[in-house]
């Protein structure tokens, strides 16, 4: 049995138990109505940026289906799960026999989450369907996110989607559906979620007991979070705002001052058990380079846009090599910062 709280950001609530969902009423109504009609598709691709509520929506809909197995008598709207119901308790503990959550597994040797959803995880889906084939209940698989499927795992999922078992439902979550196999996308009904507006994001953070203040820092979080609760948590609880400021200072300085600032930032990012912060920085670095390339292109500097785009691709490749070979993180970060500053 997997631990539903493993890998959850500090301050967040696991989607299996989250009673709150903000900003996606249209998607909730669509899912409830589509299921009630009896014409529900066997695979739904829930797409949108990371941290906006896709997994919470998926678990809420799964709870709805398992609590109301007859579509004709199901309510017309999704409701917050009843924490006291047997279905909710089983889902919350990861013990439901009718729901399988496929996500990146934990490496037993290192204790860290693997970089991909492997084919061994997908084989669990085959075992899951074989065990429950005679129950007559709905069997639901949540792939969270499908972007993390490696090539073999993606092909294995595709085979199941091509010939889905009876009364099966796949909820395929994706932060970047363009990266999925086209054949997987073609077998799913797309449901696109948008980033949260400032009001819904503020409400979501208040529900987590992390209200934004009305001053400058609150506005900075709203601006930098881009409608994502996950990003807001990284900004508030993991020093994300300070990292953004430190990176901007490096770009605006030169000489010994810049070098000293690079070392300070590299020390923070390479600290032990600081993977969330490191990942946040890499996302910010990538977004910063893409923005610079876009600005250069709009201003007519096509050579500059090409140069920055190439640098972004090179950095992504170098990070992959560094992680694959477990190279010294601080030296990798310093090298990246020097290249970007130049």
Mean pLDDT of 235-261: 93
pLDDT at 8: 87
* Residue 120, C-beta contacts closer than 8 angstroms, at least 6 positions apart: 105
Q: DSSP labels for 208-255?
A: TT-PPPSSHHHHHHHHHHTT-HHHHHHHHHS-HHHHHHHHHHHHH--H
**Window from 38-52, 108-122, 227-241, 306-320 with minimum mean pLDDT:** 108-122
pLDDT in tens, 180-211: 999 999 999 999 999 999 999 999 999 999 98
Q: Residue 280: is its pLDDT beyond 60?
A: yes
Residue spans of alpha helices (H) in the chain: 25-36, 54-67, 86-93, 119-132, 151-162, 182-186, 198-207, 216-225, 229-237, 240-252, 255-269, 275-298, 302-324, 329-341
- Residue 217 clears pLDDT 90, i.e. is over it: no
Pick from 56, 24, 54: nearest CA to 145: 54
- What is the mean predicted confidence (pLDDT) over 266-293? 92
Closest CA to 151 of 184, 192, 186, 127: 184
**Alpha-carbon distance values, 20 to 51, 143, 188 (Å):** 13, 21, 26
What are the φ/ψ torsions at residue 172 (nearest 5 degrees)? -100, 110
SS3 80: coil
Residue 72 DSSP symbol: G
- Whether pLDDT at 309 is above 90: yes
On the question of pLDDT at 263 being above 90, the answer is: yes
Is residue 7 over pLDDT 80? no
Complete edge-to-edge strand list for the sheet that includes strand 139-143: 99-102, 139-143, 168-174, 43-47, 189-192
Please tell me the predicted confidence (pLDDT) of residue 112: 81
Q: Mean pLDDT over residues 121-140, rounded? A: 86
Query: Alpha-carbon distance 206 to 185, whole Å?
Result: 35
Distance CA 337, CA 280 (A): 15
Q: Is the pLDDT of residue 4 over 70?
A: no
- Rounded CA-CA distance 241/259 in Å is 20
Q: What is the pTM of this model?
A: 0.92
């Amino acid at each position: 049995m997997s631990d539903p709280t493993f890998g959850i950001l500090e301050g967040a609530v696991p989607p299996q138990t989250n009673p709150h969902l903000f900003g996606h009423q249209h998607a909730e109504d669509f899912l409830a109505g589509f299921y009630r009609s009896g014409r529900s598709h066997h695979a739904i691709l829930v797409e949108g940026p990371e941290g906006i509520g896709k997994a919470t929506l998926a678990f809420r809909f799964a709870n709805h289906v398992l609590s109301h197995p007859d579509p004709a008598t199901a309510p017309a709207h999704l409701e917050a799960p009843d924490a006291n119901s047997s279905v909710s308790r089983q889902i919350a503990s990861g013990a439901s026999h009718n729901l399988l959550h496929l996500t990146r597994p934990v490496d037993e040797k290192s204790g860290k989450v693997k970089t991909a959803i492997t084919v061994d995880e997908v084989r669990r889906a085959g075992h899951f369907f074989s065990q429950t084939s005679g129950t007559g209940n709905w069997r639901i698989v949540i792939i969270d996110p499908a972007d993390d499927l490696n090539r073999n795992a993606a092909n294995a999922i595709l085979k199941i989607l091509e010939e889905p078992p009876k009364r099966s439902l796949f909820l395929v979550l994706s932060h970047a559906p363009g990266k999925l196999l086209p054949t997987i996308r073609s077998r799913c009904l797309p449901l696109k979620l948008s980033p949260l507006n400032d009001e819904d994001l503020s409400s979501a953070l208040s529900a987590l007991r992390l209200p934004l203040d009305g001053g400058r820092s609150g506005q900075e979080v709203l601006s930098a979070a881009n409608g994502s609760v996950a990003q807001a948590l990284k900004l508030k609880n993991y020093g994300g705002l300070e990292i953004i400021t430190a990176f901007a200072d490096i770009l605006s300085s030169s000489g010994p001052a810049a070098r000293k600032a690079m070392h300070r930032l590299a020390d923070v990012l390479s600290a032990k058990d600081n993977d969330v912060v490191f990942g946040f920085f890499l996302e910010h670095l990538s977004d910063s380079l893409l923005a610079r390339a876009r600005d250069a292109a709009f201003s007519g500097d096509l050579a500059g846009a090409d140069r920055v785009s190439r640098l972004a691709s090179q950095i992504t490749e170098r990070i992959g090599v560094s992680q694959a070979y477990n190279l010294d993180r601080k030296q990798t970060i310093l090298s990246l910062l020097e290249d970007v500053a130049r």
